[in-house]
Amino acid sequence: MRAPGLLALFFFGAVSAAGAASPLPNGAYPLPQPGSYHLDHIFAVPRGIVIGSSYFPHLLSADTTGAITLLTFFYGLCRDPTGCPAAWSAFQAVREAARGDPLLAGKVRLVSLSFDPTHDTPTEMRLFAASVGEDARVPWLFRTTYGPAFLKPILRRFDETVAREPASADGAVVIDHVLRVYLIDPEGYVREIYSAATLDTPTILDDMRTLALERQKRVGG
């Protein structure tokens, strides 16, 4: 079993890793082959009520089942380069690689869910979606909620803590949060949690391939 991401260890307790492989000359360790390790079921994604580019509601579970999903929380006015912009860059890299991978194309989606429903309205979600473009091979969905009452239960289930800071001198909105990216299997279970320190594109892709191979074995093709 591959050791889970650092954040998953803090989030759900220590998990024993398999024996370490020999390091490469630069001190790094080679990645295990996709399908040669197991990712634990960490928790089930909550149903939750979210909205996209219109005000018509649907369940978050509709966006996190039926495909391998990479989900993160964000807010449109985020300026911290180690926060939302880092997740954005990682999502772009994963999308570019996955759209040309026969094992992943058509089986993966990306979801960005806003922390800031006051500013991040359906109109903003529509603009974000337009900025990344449509691609049925790897759709990228942008979601928000009607307001804090709808957002809080979702954050609670993900154990996400956010704090809205007073606006800075230039009026910029600051929402304190820890960057987390969740890898979710087609059944809606979180199988890995990446932090800013572990947000590595090759690792994410291999974890996605591992889930794809797992599903192939289960459904027989």
Percent of the chain with pLDDT over 90: 68
- The pLDDT-based confidence of 18 (bands split at 50, 70, 90) is very low
Q: What is the reported pLDDT for 176? A: 77
Q: What is the reported pLDDT for 75? A: 86
- The pLDDT-based confidence of 27 (bands split at 50, 70, 90) is low
Average of per-residue pLDDT across 58-81: 92
- Superfamily of domain covering 6-14+36-219: Glutaredoxin (3.40.30.10)
Q: What is the reported pLDDT for 2? A: 54
| Domain edges within the chain | 6-14+36-219
Rounded to two decimals, what is the model's pTM? Answer: 0.84
Q: What is the reported pLDDT for 83? A: 81
**Residue positions counted in the chain:** 221
Q: What is the reported pLDDT for 29? A: 65
